[in-house]
Structure 1
Amino acid sequence: MEKILILDFGSQYTQLIARRVRELNVYCEIHPFNKIPAIDASVRGVILSGSPFSVRDAQAPTPDLSAIKGKLPLLGVCYGAQFLASAFGGEVQPAPSREYGRAMLTVGDASDALMRGLPARTQVWMSHGDTITRVPDNYELIASTEDVRVAAFHVGGEQTWGIQFHPEVYHSTDGTQLLKNFVVDICGCGQSWTSEGFVEATVRELREKLGDDKVVLALSGGVDSSVAAVLLHKAIGKNLYCVFVDSGLLRKNEFGEVLESYKHMGLNVKGVNASAKFLGDLAGVTDPERKRKIIGRDFVEVFNEEAIQIKDVKWLAQGTIYPDVIESCSVNGPSATIKSHHNVGGLPEKMNLKIVEPLRLLFKDEVRRVGRSMGISEQLIGRHPFPGPGLAIRILGDITPEKVEILQNVDKIYIDSLRAAGLYDQVWQAGAVLLPVKSVGVMGDERTYESCVALRAVTSTDGMTADWVHLPYEFLANVSNDIINKVKGVNRVVYDISSKPPATIEWE
């Protein structure tokens, strides 16, 4: 399978480069700059990412490009461009002032293969503290901005380019065209990475890999595990055993509704109601991390009890997606906090199971496209992300069945209202939070002292950053009124207008 390699120097934009390349229907992989895989015939080109480092730093990332530069098409982006300049005889110095934000790029050589099809002047996005002050002798300037003389260059006699701006971000208006010029025209990629092609190839590979073996999968009702289940079902049919655990912390009626939708999909699913165990073990616990650990432990125990009843099961399937894979081998090392509640940690060792992860090459938006191409209902595919610990981390403080019921009722009114108003699909994730705060209110001429809930709605692409949604005031007024009138125990509703960063999407 033809591919583009992206060498990661720790930039916040590295995944975005990959997403833009994938949107061109070209497969690409991200690898740390110091763990470059073998360069074989499948590699059609290489992109060097940006970095928070300066090439002048003693600890600056320094890749070995001996098997790449001059041999394969190569594009350096921001830090990547500065490295290509400084490491081969040029000079990089601190910019007079940090070059950040929009800038107008003037194309100096419209006939250059990388610049082809770009207007003479186009908006680009800058984000760097250094600037290239001198390029090596055989480097040709092909574009500049008012403040950045060397905004883009081409290495004479090679298919090597460098750009000091970020074509992958939305603010670079012709960035997609530039990336297409490199990936499709220069590297010669055939744009054959499609959802349908992925399904066909993955099902074939799963059949070869799994044969007649039995596989067990924990379903969550979310997009990733659902799409993974359908892919596996296509490959091995009834040899896939799915378990859907009700922790008592799901949305209102979710356990029954999701089980029903899975049955309509022909999946072999067993539902396990373990709410009493989860809620009992969480009683009196207020620390968010302890909540997560208890939920993760209980989930493993419940799932294990079900999995060991499947005779001769050999594989554990998981809905791991590509950002998880990248994070585990990032330039900065594995994530400091393991999301233990997302995967069934401990089971492979306990049961001597092998792992199969059919979605490990895909970003979240690609998972959705694959799901749609297989005919999975929009009700499942379009679902907002939901945290692994469920409502436990949306109830601040200790958890009781009464609090869960209050939050489930509030959440249902909120989510149903978003759907009814046609706003649900405009929001990446929405939910309600039950606060450990009571306030004075008045209902029917009587004084009340009841709970406060916060509503949250954000836009995002992958959850790494998020912005709050400007929901219409009239909508918020109606939802607030509905919640206070219909949910006993709540007399105040607030709306969270914090972005990530500095806040997080979830409150715990």
Structure 2
Amino acid sequence: MKKNLIIILDFGSQYSYMIARRIRDLGVYSLLYPYNISKSKILSKCPSGIILSGGPFSVYKTNSLLISKNIFSLGIPILGICYGMQLISFLLGGKIGPSNYREYGKSLLEIIDKNHPLFLGINKNNIVVWMSHFDEIKKIPKEFNIIGKTSSCPVAAISNNKKMIYAVQFHPEVNNTEYGKLILENFVIQICKCNYNWKLTNVVNNIINDIKKTVSNKKVILGFSGGLDSFVTAYLSYKAIGKQLNCIFIDTGLFPKEEKKIIINICKHMNLPIKVINAKENFLSKLIGIKNPEKKRKIIGKEFINLFQKESKKIGNIEFLIQGTIYSDIIESSKKLNNNFIKSHHNVGGLPKFRKLKIIEPLKKLFKDEVRTIGKLLGVPGIILYKHPFPGPGISIRIIGKINKNKISIIKKADSILFQELNSYNIYNTISQAFIILLSTKSVGIMGDKRTYEYTAVLRSVNTKDFMTATFSHLSYEFLEKISNRIINEVNGINRVLYDISSKPPSTIEWE
């Protein structure tokens, strides 16, 4: 008997877990498995539907990830996304080849079959979709029909209604795809006949119970960064184990101005136990002269763990370190299925192998907006719920190239000006994340009729819900002019300000 469950087979896409997450948003339980899960394992779960994720491979190359054609004879509805679509076509007799025009980012999908069950409720002939592909279907398999296309991709959606096999070249799971959620809902609810019965409130209870069960009567330290993820992690942990929790905030010297003071005050307000460790010199001494961003991250990760281990010895009977790692951190640090490594995170890829503390990551399967929803359920203050994310390695990865005290001082002053104006213009809460990057590049300028040769600053501001995809914020020229004038006039060391208008992907939000 089929259960109210959707299984997603992962072919290495950065968005694979987002598919599961979107389906859970609908109120239907979903599980993510490696692409090579056995047929018997799939049948044992009795899924109502199967989704084949995207991936960075070409189906006709020797390193491609393939599955058995037997999956199409299970009588279970199947949806292929991006690589999943190409794989379906390849296995069922279609032809795949390099695209004449590669598509990355926004494209316009023309819906050919407006009555198709996958497109129910879409009242437009053309919708914006998010593409990321370098191959395309040159010939569709027998018994399939083309149900969608773009100006540069003549086969952007196909289906075999009789065999309940559907496929799209675009990514319906990302927020940038218009009606993407509805397309997934049509597959899950209309085609797979699932019911709405999964709730995020159950996740909260499960996390609390899991922490209790794992920790038992042991003491725990929590790596506290002061962001939304660490606050929610701390709140959940405190609810689970109370005074067994020891929150540690390590002042690396790589935080914005006033950050430490704000964090301490909010922790007191929320009755969270916290100890501040001043480790500015520890980090700076190890980072001076380091240029490579991966080395920066790993140095910071190693030093964090060293300090946590020293603190755990002082407290005594500490076995666990709890971290606010979320799934986007893990995805960008992941090397599973391929070597398409993006960057390590200080609390993921940056952890040294010799660590003695056992790591607990309660939020590691959740995305930022899910964490924010849980924060609301827990009563976390709005100042934290809508606080812009700040990377664990701090401004070290916003200083491109070598780090020194002068550059740290410069970027802190520029960042402070940015946030003053974001609040002055009352737009802080309308954008998802904003910050300043200091380039190693210097350029010629004129100040007071004198030649200058100083650093270039870049303003990065993005809008996103899940931080897996993002678009640049459409800030007014008036605001940009104000920021540029203030930074150049008030911050010694900067004589040029640029605005980053790239999206994610192909760019990442942080530069390093």
Name the CA distance, whole Å, in 1 between partners of 2:102 and 2:494.
49
Q: Which amino acid aligns with 1:133?
A: K
Partner of 1:196: 201
Deviation at 1:289, TM superposition (A): 4.4
Check if 1:268 corresponds to 2:270: no
Check if 1:454 corresponds to 2:457: yes
- Contact 2:174–2:469 at 8 Å: present in 1 too? no
Deviation at 1:173, TM superposition (A): 4.1
What is the alpha-carbon root mean square deviation over aligned residues? Answer: 3.6
- Judged with a 3 Å threshold, the aligned counterparts in structure 2 of structure 1 residues 334 and 259 are, in CA distance, closer, same or farther, namely farther
- TM-score normalised by length of structure 2: 0.83
Check if 1:219 corresponds to 2:224: yes
Partner of 1:474: 478
- Judged with a 3 Å threshold, the aligned counterparts in structure 2 of structure 1 residues 263 and 66 are, in CA distance, closer, same or farther, namely farther
Partner of 1:371: 375
SS at match of 1:309: helix
Partner of 2:398: 394
- Contact 1:69–1:160 at 8 Å: present in 2 too? no
The equivalent position to 1:209 in structure 2, one of 191, 197, 214, is 214
- Judged with a 3 Å threshold, the aligned counterparts in structure 2 of structure 1 residues 97 and 384 are, in CA distance, closer, same or farther, namely same
SS at match of 1:202: helix
Name the CA distance, whole Å, in 2 between partners of 1:343 and 1:51.
21
- Contact 2:175–2:469 at 8 Å: present in 1 too? no
Bigger shift: 208-217 or 95-104?
95-104
The 5 Å alignment of 1:154-303 reads 154-156=160-162, 158-163=163-168, 166-168=171-173, 173-303=178-308
Deviation at 1:47, TM superposition (A): 0.4
- TM-score normalised by length of structure 1: 0.83
Q: Percent identity?
A: 36
Unaligned runs of 5+ in 2: none
The equivalent position to 2:323 in structure 1, one of 283, 304, 318, is 318
- Contact 1:246–1:274 at 8 Å: present in 2 too? yes
Q: What is the CA deviation profile of residues 375-398 of structure 1, one whole-angstrom value per residue up to 9, with x for unaligned ones? A: 112222222222322122333455
SS at match of 2:50: strand
Deviation at 1:247, TM superposition (A): 0.8
Check if 1:104 corresponds to 2:110: yes
Q: Which amino acid aligns with 1:102?
A: L
Deviation at 1:8, TM superposition (A): 2.5
Check if 1:83 corresponds to 2:90: no
Partner of 1:133: 139
Deviation at 1:209, TM superposition (A): 3.1
- Contact 2:232–2:374 at 8 Å: present in 1 too? yes
- Contact 1:203–1:232 at 8 Å: present in 2 too? yes
SS at match of 2:315: coil
Deviation at 1:275, TM superposition (A): 1.3
- Judged with a 3 Å threshold, the aligned counterparts in structure 2 of structure 1 residues 251 and 148 are, in CA distance, closer, same or farther, namely closer
Name the CA distance, whole Å, in 2 between partners of 1:473 and 1:149.
40
Q: Which amino acid aligns with 2:110?
A: M
Name the CA distance, whole Å, in 2 between partners of 1:27 and 1:116.
22
Q: What is the CA deviation profile of residues 359-380 of structure 1, one whole-angstrom value per residue up to 9, with x for unaligned ones? A: 1221122112211221112222
Larger Rg: 1
Q: Which amino acid aligns with 1:391?
A: I
Partner of 2:414: 410
Q: Which amino acid aligns with 1:92?
A: K
Q: What is the CA deviation profile of residues 397-431 of structure 1, one whole-angstrom value per residue up to 9, with x for unaligned ones? A: 55444443333222112112112212223333222
Deviation at 1:251, TM superposition (A): 0.7
Q: What is the CA deviation profile of residues 436-465 of structure 1, one whole-angstrom value per residue up to 9, with x for unaligned ones? A: 54755435xx85857445142232545556
Q: Which amino acid aligns with 2:462?
A: T
- Contact 1:50–1:80 at 8 Å: present in 2 too? yes
Deviation at 1:118, TM superposition (A): 4.6
> How many residues are paired up?
497
SS at match of 1:28: strand
Name the CA distance, whole Å, in 2 between partners of 1:333 and 1:491.
38
Name the CA distance, whole Å, in 2 between partners of 1:417 and 1:230.
31
Name the CA distance, whole Å, in 1 between partners of 2:401 and 2:137.
50
SS at match of 2:217: coil
- Contact 1:124–1:165 at 8 Å: present in 2 too? no
- Judged with a 3 Å threshold, the aligned counterparts in structure 2 of structure 1 residues 203 and 273 are, in CA distance, closer, same or farther, namely same
Unaligned runs of 5+ in 1: none
- Judged with a 3 Å threshold, the aligned counterparts in structure 2 of structure 1 residues 176 and 363 are, in CA distance, closer, same or farther, namely same
- Judged with a 3 Å threshold, the aligned counterparts in structure 2 of structure 1 residues 45 and 264 are, in CA distance, closer, same or farther, namely same
Check if 1:432 corresponds to 2:436: yes
- Judged with a 3 Å threshold, the aligned counterparts in structure 2 of structure 1 residues 280 and 378 are, in CA distance, closer, same or farther, namely same
- Judged with a 3 Å threshold, the aligned counterparts in structure 2 of structure 1 residues 282 and 35 are, in CA distance, closer, same or farther, namely same
SS at match of 1:107: coil
Deviation at 1:216, TM superposition (A): 1.5
